[in-house]
Amino acid sequence: MQTAADREAKLQRHRLRMTLLSVANTSLQSVIIGLYAWAGEVGWSVAWQFFLVGAGSSAMFALIIWRGLNLRLKDPGLLLPQIALSVLIQLLFLVLAPKLWVLFLVAVLVTYNFAMMSFSVRQFTLAWLLVGAASAVALFAARGRFGHFGTSGVSIAILWLFFFLCIRQLTVIGTQFSSLRTQLSEKNKQLSASLERIQELASHDDLTGALNRRSFMQLLADERARAQRAGQPFCIALLDIDHFKTVNDRFGHLIGDAVLKEFCAVAAASIRVTDRFARYGGEEFMLLLAPSTSSDVAKVATERVRQAVEAHDWDRIAPGLRVTLSAGVSQFAPDESVEQLVRRADEALYAAKDAGRNRTVVA
């Protein structure tokens, strides 16, 4: 399992990688400016000064992260200061070399896109206003000195190369977002699976996998409300494994647990699709036979379960093991409470036991 230290180390490597990417991007922009200097559009001093200031500042941030000094700061990612300094450098050189104003403004937009990686709504609003104000100051300071690139094949090729590199930087940002979306999608799948598992554990018996008493009683209350509205009958059957204490005493509790699980599997395979089966408590189980099920039909359905249990090969769990069940069936009466319905099924179950067990009695 990944520890907090492992996660922090991984995050630190990511921070360093992104900062080194900034160093590379600034260096490439310096090369573009150098190519324009070679083409005679600007002086060479603009290119090497931009490289020293731009790449140098990014390298300084990379060194801070590499030495772990950023971990002492409130914002260990240093994203805000890196973006702010990069934007200021771009706008400064817009004033110094206004003929390349398009390059520097586009670079500001590309740099601003890196804010999408972690800025909050408030930070985005603040950054938008500050960048807008700073760019206005820079453009006003450079007024009257703006020019445009030459139309020679070389100048056009350099402009295309700059555009191509900007698209590459935006692709890197898009790749990061794609990776985050993939991770988020995977986390959502894991969360959904965990929630389904939690819901299953909350509604099902841990040993047998059958519905537990709480979820069954909710189903029963819902069915009672439906029957009251529609005026349709439904039934419940209370099932009890005969002499289960003897099974535990003779074969042990592990075999007893195996019997409970096997009993649920046999019962679940014998009931109708519309029926619901639950562990009511201990070796007692409950069947909800609905909708529109009369007591006669419910008895037939319950008998089918009883006969399946009686005929099942229990020897494969323990030699000499025999399992039967007794059942009490009750049909819902108008305006009857759930508790009264269950009480009548329980009385029918005890009548089945008093009559010799391994049988179904209808209340």
Q: What is the pLDDT of residues 190-201, one digit of tens each?
A: 888 878 777 777
| Cα distances (angstroms) measured from residue 95 to each of 38, 137, 140, 148 | 20, 10, 9, 14
pLDDT at residue 164, as a whole number: 86
Residue 317 is given by DSSP the state: T
Q: Which of 11, 17, 101, 100 is nearest to 61 (CA)?
A: 17
Class of domain 213-362: alpha beta
- For the ranges 8-22, 58-72, 245-259, which has the lowest average pLDDT? 8-22
Percent of the chain with pLDDT over 70: 99
Other C-beta atoms closer than 10 Å to the C-beta of 352 total: 24
Q: Percent helix, strand and coil across the chain, each rounded to 5?
A: 70, 10, 20
329 close to 348: Cβ distance less than 8 angstroms? yes
Q: Six-digit token pair at 257?
A: 């647990």
Residue 148 has pLDDT above 80, yes or no: no
Q: Which of 186, 262, 283, 336 is catalytic?
A: 283
pTM (predicted TM-score): 0.55
Strands 235-241 and 284-289: antiparallel
- Give residue-wise pLDDT tens across range 68-80: 888 888 888 888 8
Residue 121 has pLDDT above 70, yes or no: yes
pLDDT bracket for residue 309 (50, 70, 90)? very high
Mean per-residue pLDDT, 219-223: 93
Mean per-residue pLDDT, 150-168: 82
- Give residue-wise pLDDT tens across range 268-307: 999 988 899 999 999 999 999 988 889 999 999 999 999 9
Give the CA angle between residues 315, 316, 320 to the nearest 5°: 20
Q: State yes or no: is 8 an active-site residue.
A: no
- For the ranges 111-115, 136-140, 206-210, 300-304, which has the lowest average pLDDT? 111-115
Mean pLDDT, the chain, whole residue set? 89
The whole-angstrom separation of Cα 128 and Cα 126 is 5
281 close to 215: Cβ distance less than 8 angstroms? no
Compute the residue count for the chain.
363
Sign of the C-alpha dihedral computed for residues 309, 310, 316 and 319 taken in this order: positive
Residue boundaries of the structural domains of the chain = 4-194, 213-362
Which residues 6+ apart lie within 8 Å of 107 measured at CB?
Answer: 29, 90, 166
pLDDT bracket for residue 109 (50, 70, 90)? confident
pLDDT at residue 2, as a whole number: 62
Sign of the C-alpha dihedral computed for residues 22, 23, 26 and 31 taken in this order: negative
pLDDT bracket for residue 10 (50, 70, 90)? confident
- Give residue-wise pLDDT tens across range 17-45: 888 888 888 999 999 999 999 988 888 99
Helix axes 79-96, 101-113, angle to 10 degrees: 170
| Cα distances (angstroms) measured from residue 324 to each of 51, 94, 252, 348, 351 | 87, 90, 18, 17, 16
Mean per-residue pLDDT, 88-108: 91
Residue 350 has pLDDT above 90, yes or no: yes
Residue 108 corresponds to which amino acid?
Answer: V
Q: Which of 142, 344, 324 is nearest to 242 (CA)?
A: 324
Residue 330 has pLDDT above 90, yes or no: yes
Q: Where are the beta strands (DSSP E) in the chain?
A: 235-241, 276-281, 284-289, 325-331, 360-362
The whole-angstrom separation of Cα 176 and Cα 78 is 17
pLDDT at residue 1, as a whole number: 58
